[in-house]
A and B are shown apart, each in its own frame.
Chain A
Amino acid sequence: MMRGNRTLTIGISLVAFSLMMFLLSFIWTPYDPLEINPELSLTSPSWSHWMGTDENGRDILSNIVLGSRATLITGVLAVVICMLLGVTIGIATAMSPKWVESPAIFGTDIVLALPTVLFAIVLAAVYGPSTYTAVFAIGIALSASVAQVTRREVNVILLADYVTAARASGSRNLRIVRTHVLPNLRASLFVQASGASAIAILAESTLSYLGLGTPPPDPSWGRMMASLQQYLIIDPIFPLWPGLAILITVLGFNLLGDGLREALDPTLRRDVE
């Protein structure tokens, strides 16, 4: 069995697990995630509450299931923004004349060097912490690296003989993008989107841990982590749960990206042998 396929299998399973949790949150949670039960405050895991209850007596498992929404929705929206922006900028810069390309590369380099979370903190300072601030900050910050990778790949594609042939037969830029560039980019875009999802989800949980993400009462894994951390003296298992949820999702997308890359690029499979 190829190693790439094993990575891909584990990645797909973990991502599927997170997606199922996300879908489940719309149909059913073990308890009402927002119901406050003072008499059940901070109980350790038991048969009735598998992951225990938080300081307000809310079921942690139900909150983890519901919290997948904030994390996954932010992650997916941020990735949509970063792919749309990044791919457009990447293709446009690769196809423009040199005097446009150089400053554009330079601009991407500047955005690349800016710390994502710092940028999000500034946006949160200006517009107040919200899901949308987080989505935009993460999306714009990630688009720079997508633009960079896309530009390099498009430059290679544009050198191919079939592009020259298309040009010679009178095809204009837009037509070349549609019929030659985008289809050849597809594989790389899947890999990039998967990697970007992992980074976006990690960034979202970091922002909400710092209190700059989805505001209460909607649960998010990062904020659950920040509040349950205060009670680890009572039971150290409490802060373990949201961390585990983040780990499974991020690891899933990372492995999915690696697996896809190995599956799509045969030269990578034997990098060690």
Chain B
Amino acid sequence: MTTAWYVLRRFALLIVSLIVSSALVFLLLRLLPGDLAQAKLGIYGTPEALAQLRTEYGLDKSLPEQYVSWLSKAVRGDLGLSVLTGADITSELLGKATVTLPLIGIASVLAVLIAVPLGMLAALRFRKWDGVATSAVSQLGIAVPTFWIGVILITIFAVQSQIFPSGGFPYDGWSNFGEAMKSLVLPACTLALAQGAVLMRFARSATIDVIQQDYFRTARATGLSRAGALRVHGVRNALVPVVSVLGMQISTLIVGAIIVESVFALPGVGQMLLQDVNIRDYTKVQGTVAATTALVFVVSFLIDLVLGLLNPRMRQR
């Protein structure tokens, strides 16, 4: 299969996924009993006021028409206005993303830094106590709920020794860089530990894979020590599956971020989404969820593309 054909096919898949997932989100939120106009006006909803609001928000059109007009605006980055507050959804979402995206970014880097060395250790010393202990810790890490890790970190680093804040984010955001970073340390560590435990398993099995390869045996035969041979051949080979798994885990990372924001009261996308669910601001929930799933699909597209270009065998899947 040629590269161009692979890219084209994968791109078509991306477009269809985006259409299907956004339609799903749109339909789920529109199949509600009652409508948005009723929700906004409540007991003040005279028939005339309701009719006027419905025309204003295009609620009097058919569902497919509404979906197409919403989608065509969303593609251009306009997610519309909140029915309840009238605020611009896109700009609010972008504002909140300045907390959530750095959190996910820092956590991903930390997770790889934790997972790769520990995974290699667990693979190399699988019969020794420290290798077994590392594997056991990874098993525990997978089973521990993310919010529990957060609470334990708060207890140790915010309550008992007050090194980091137990939650919140500076009011003036990133213009107060030091404080902003400081308030992201514990949340990012929480997310990284939860994610790192999962990645460690992949790093471990990737390393075991490398150790069994002929080139590794040859490298050992030329006189390199196990650690030396692993430095030359192992790290890079163990990193490839870890990074691709990290890419596939982007949806888990986003869900993790929602949880972590809730534990640490961080004013990010996740917190906003939960609040909107509670006050039933459907247009905002719709916009946020659609944008988030779109991000998931675009990231997995990019990762597939990079992996496909690097490794021709991937293209045949």
Contact = CB atoms under 8 A, between A and B. Distances in A.
B297 A113 contact: yes
Nearest to B209: A271
B169 interface: no
A145 to B, nearest CB: 12
B188 interface: no
Interface residues of B, number: 51
Contacts of A198: 143
B140 A115 contact: no
Interface stretch (B79-87, B144-152, B173-181): B144-152
A210 B274 CA distance: 8
A122 B144 contact: no
A117 interface: yes
Contacts of B151: 225, 229, 232, 239, 243
Chain B interface helix/strand/loop/mixed: helix
A146 B29 CA distance: 27
A125 B278 CA distance: 7
A124 interface: yes
A115 B143 contact: no
Interface string A99-141: 0000000110110011111100111111000000000000000
B144 A232 contact: no
Contacts of B126: 272
Contacts of B278: 211
A236 interface: yes
Contacts of B152: 240, 243
Contacts of B263: 229
A88 interface: no
A176 interface: no
A114 B21 contact: yes
Chain A interface helix/strand/loop/mixed: helix
Interface stretch (B12-20, B63-71, B90-98, B104-112): B12-20
Interface stretch (A90-98, A162-170, A186-194, A249-257): A249-257
B202 interface: no
Interface in B243-264: 251-252, 254-255, 258-259, 262-263
Contacts of B297: 113
A126 B159 contact: no
Contacts of A106: 13, 16
A247 interface: yes
A116 B255 contact: yes
B24 to A, nearest CB: 8
A110 B155 contact: no
A263 interface: no
A147 B20 CA distance: 19
Most buried by B among A110, A226, A271: A110
Given A125-B285, A126-B29, A118 B251 contact: yes
Contact of A212 (B146, B148, B277): B277
Interface stretch (A17-25, A29-37, A53-61, A201-209): A201-209
A262 to B, nearest CB: 13
Contacts of A205: 145
Contact of A232 (B154, B282, B285, B293): B154
A117 B21 contact: no
Given A110-B21, A212-B277, A117 B142 contact: no
A246 interface: yes
B28 interface: yes
A272 B252 contact: no
B145 A115 contact: no
Nearest to A228: B151
B40 interface: no
Q: Which 5 A-B pairs have the closest CB atoms?
A: A243-B148, A251-B143, A115-B251, A250-B143, A117-B255
Given A118-B251, A118-B254, A121-B258, 6 more contacts: A118-B292, A121-B273, A209-B147, A226-B147, A243-B151, A272-B208
14 contacts: A109-B17, A113-B251, A114-B293, A121-B277, A124-B277, A198-B143, A209-B147, A211-B278, A225-B147, A232-B151, A243-B144, A243-B152, A250-B143, A250-B144
Interface of B: 13, 16-17, 20-21, 25, 28-29, 31-32, 123, 126, 139-140, 142-148, 151-152, 154-155, 159-160, 205, 208, 251-252, 254-255, 258-259, 262-263, 273-274, 276-278, 280, 282, 285, 289, 292-293, 296-297, 300
